[in-house]
Structure 1
Amino acid sequence: MSTPRTHTRRRMLTATGAALALGMVAACGSGNEEAADEITMWTFLDPAGSSGREQVLANLIESYEEDTGIRVNVEVQQWDTMTQQFLAADVSGSAPDVMWVALDQVSNAVEQGALADLNSLAFSDLPEDQLADLRDVYWETMETGDGSIYGVVHSRNYFGIMYRADLLAEAGVDPAQIRTWDDLISAAEELTAPNENRWGLGQAFGTSFADPQILSARLVESQGTMFDDDGSPLWDTDEAIEAMEFQAGFVTEAQVTAPDAVRLTAEDLYELFSAGQVAMINAASVRVPAMQEQVGTENVGFMHYPSEDGEGYAPGSLAGWSVGVWSGSEAAEQAADFVAYMSSPEADEQWMLDAQQPPLYASTAENNADFLDEPENSFLSIVLEGAQEHGWLPPTNVPTAGWRESLNGAVQQVLLEEASPGEAMAAAEQELGTGGNG
């Protein structure tokens, strides 16, 4: 990375901007003083890849490089270990200029001083109407008490139930009628066909590549939260024990989830879904486009978690990746400039239209209502509704990293009969409270 002698600052494009191009970053001052000519970014998205997200990122990088002359070097990382590697690289002084940080580890990064304030670098001059357009649960959770912003949340995710519409139709199951947890269990029973090597509800309780489970939705539904204000887990409670009993019951009582779910990872689950070996799965909305490509758009559906009484929906976990700038970067303003570029209203439209990503701006959804009405994109409306009304976002102002792995480990203990639900939840609470957040 080159050391910048002078800096340039560019505002994020307004919603009425005529083009995504921001123009060449000009060298300032006299003599041979010039701005950094390259920045490095860590992300799990490979610009050389074929997914919609990867292709949009590649297009944005290409146009940014053409417009500014600044090269964006992408170093692709494994998503489940990337943030921890960044925190270690911050200590050693070798972190990338732009970093995609897992939301539940943003607090750790801020506390460590690893992230720069984007407001002071590039975002403070945003027009008020654009800020209002951006302001949602994700933006607000990234904003600190003093107004600092340490990242813009991309690849926004909402957890619910993904289903094979073709398999449900064959079994005569109407997904619109799955409104209660009992409805979900009944549907899964109809869809379970051991002779055909198919299970009604796929779940994955491995501690690698761990996703939020139905357990967390059930617990937040009954208890209102999973964490105290200081980030301490609230898992040694009657509600938490009941949620664990309910979670384990899919395997032990209803027998609609395979016993080997105890060892499966989320990645395994999507492979089974694609192969038709599970009819419904606990799933991330961000995976819908890939599944549509693999098994056909018409064969993939996505819905909210049902609820106890069927009057609403249980809270699905919200997730995403906070794209920020390393505080030790020698090209911090150029890095923030690129974050602003890939987060502009015009870029936001690309992310949604070409990669089927939930938009950052409310106006992006409003201006593209016809796109959201198309059958293959209808899941995005569910995601937006979830974020606005039904979703649950784990706190980002206190450390909660490791909560998914801890809860999956507790489920494993119960299913392997190594602990009772109460013992497993108490142990998980202590483990995360003293190990994960201590």
Structure 2
Amino acid sequence: MAHSIRALAGACAVVALAAPAMAETLTIATVNNGDMIRMQKMTKPFTDANPDIQLEWVQLEENILRERVTTDIATNGGQYDVLTIGTYEVPLWAKQEWLTPLSDLPADYEVDDLIPAVRDALSVDGTLYAVPFYAESAMVMYRKDLAEAAGVTIPESPTWADIKTAAEKMTNKDGEVYGICLRGKPGWGENMAFLTAMANSYGARWFDMEWKPQFDSAEWKAALTDYLDLMTNYGPPGASSNGFNENLSLFQQGKCGIWIDATVAASFVTDPDNSTVADQVAFAQFPNKEGVDNHGNWLWAWSLAVPATSDAQDAAKKFVAWATSKAYTDEVAAADGWRAAPPGTRTSLYENAEYQSAAPFAAMTLTAINSANTQKSSVQDIPYTGGQFVAIPEFQGIGTAVGQQFAAALAGQMSGDDALAAAQSNTEREMARAGYPK
């Protein structure tokens, strides 16, 4: 009897020791955008199906997320098991062997359903290194009631002159309605994402074929001059602190006539539960400078990747496959309606009649994504790829430094010409230090 009791006690001890060892905690680093916040709230089906996996969330503002995740992976910190990263990081980090290949996703994931442009942007030599949670291009969102009251028409394919005319006539600063809201917060993925796309649409480029910076060009001067003119005369106060989320809030509150930004915002500005102007929003292509055949060439995907340093890779792969699956999209649609489905990732979503009916922005979003040419984002010859960024490792630092100069000009701390001159000299110095041309 005593032997049996001792045996039972020993068995219990083994079970007690084994239980914690079997449970794995995934630390997930993600951005504090609306779709990611929704994902965090909708994980019950995953945790119910995988009781041996616990989820721990680290949700950060965009610039801070990029800084912390980049530092962690570059130093082999191993702090995170799932990373939310973009189309800029994926090919660069994959080539450094910092990411785990995702070539063994289950058959029911349907990799071939991913929109080709997005899948290609997240692959290196045909191997997928991240899966897209949502993807986007950029477009014009505007208040059709304000446009009608002002007597202006924004065509489906507007020029910047069309936008300026509409912004001027929609502005009513006494009523706290600003004709246009654009990103001003400094950061390579904040104001410089927008300004690079705008510059592309003016015919500008970051570098010539010898990797010489081009901020002293007529095209960059025209783009920055018009940006500052629009924002100074028709934009909201404090615009140099406004990024994606701040402008989204302003637009939802009815304080912006025009907002030009990521297509993913469309579901939020048309959400009647959170947007006071949900039934008054219309859409158009990203503008171009008259005579320049380029509408911005923006392509981005916030994607989930598994760092090579994770010690829970199988569990992490299981999570990223679930969070970017068709089944997850169905769960979002059941909970919040088809309009809220994560956009831009799967062909099947844009073939879904229920989604097309619920999302008036669907066709414009798909057109924008498919028209992006990340292999040649400028009408001029360029030695780099990338749409609203330059796909070289140095761009993260250089782009943020330039963004700070342009934000200072927007805040009235320096002239546009001085900001361009500083951008030119600083970028020349950093590119020389990095050894370009290589």
CA spacing shift, 1:356–1:165, aligned 2, 3 Å:
farther
Per-residue Cα deviation, 1:32-68 (whole angstroms, up to 9, x for no partner): 998664322222359xxxx565344543x32222223
- Counterpart in the other structure of 1:323: 304
Q: CA RMSD in A?
A: 3.7
The answer on whether the counterparts of 1:231 and 1:398 sit within 8 Å (CA) in structure 2 is: no
- Counterpart in the other structure of 1:245: 225
**1-side partners of 2:57 and 2:278: how far apart?**
31
- Counterpart in the other structure of 1:197: 176
Gapped regions of structure 2 (runs ≥ 5) = 1-17, 375-386
Does structure 1 residue 365 correspond to structure 2 residue 364? no
**Which region of structure 1 is more displaced relative to structure 2, 310-319 or 36-45?**
310-319
Per-residue Cα deviation, 1:87-107 (whole angstroms, up to 9, x for no partner): 333426342111112433345
**1-side partners of 2:345 and 2:287: how far apart?**
26
Secondary structure in 1 matching 2:158: coil
Q: CA deviation at 1:386?
A: 0.4
Does structure 1 residue 134 correspond to structure 2 residue 102? no
User: Aligned ranges for residues 276-355 of structure 1 at < 5 Å?
Assistant: 276-291=254-269, 292=271, 293-309=274-290, 314-350=295-331, 353=338, 355=340
- Counterpart in the other structure of 1:428: 423
Per-residue Cα deviation, 1:173-216 (whole angstroms, up to 9, x for no partner): 33346722211111111111233232211234232682456532
Per-residue Cα deviation, 1:384-411 (whole angstroms, up to 9, x for no partner): 1100014653467532325664443333
Give the residue type in structure 1 aligned to 2:101.
D
- Counterpart in the other structure of 1:41: 28
- Counterpart in the other structure of 1:104: 88
- Counterpart in the other structure of 2:392: 398
CA spacing shift, 1:216–1:205, aligned 2, 3 Å:
same
**1-side partners of 2:320 and 2:410: how far apart?**
44
The count of corresponding residues between Structure 1 and Structure 2 is: 393
TM-score (norm: length of structure 2): 0.75
User: Aligned ranges for residues 75-94 of structure 1 at < 5 Å?
Assistant: 75-80=57-62, 81-90=64-73, 91=75, 93-94=77-78
**2-side partners of 1:236 and 1:311: how far apart?**
19
Secondary structure in 1 matching 2:80: coil
CA spacing shift, 1:144–1:182, aligned 2, 3 Å:
same
Secondary structure in 2 matching 1:175: coil
Choose from 196, 201, 216 the match for 2:196.
216
**2-side partners of 1:280 and 1:141: how far apart?**
29
**1-side partners of 2:52 and 2:199: how far apart?**
47
- Counterpart in the other structure of 1:174: 153
CA spacing shift, 1:233–1:321, aligned 2, 3 Å:
farther
Point out the structure with max Rg over C-alpha. 2
CA spacing shift, 1:371–1:302, aligned 2, 3 Å:
same
**Which region of structure 1 is more displaced relative to structure 2, 264-273 or 192-201?**
264-273
Does structure 1 residue 188 correspond to structure 2 residue 183? no
The answer on whether the counterparts of 2:185 and 2:239 sit within 8 Å (CA) in structure 1 is: yes
CA spacing shift, 1:142–1:53, aligned 2, 3 Å:
closer
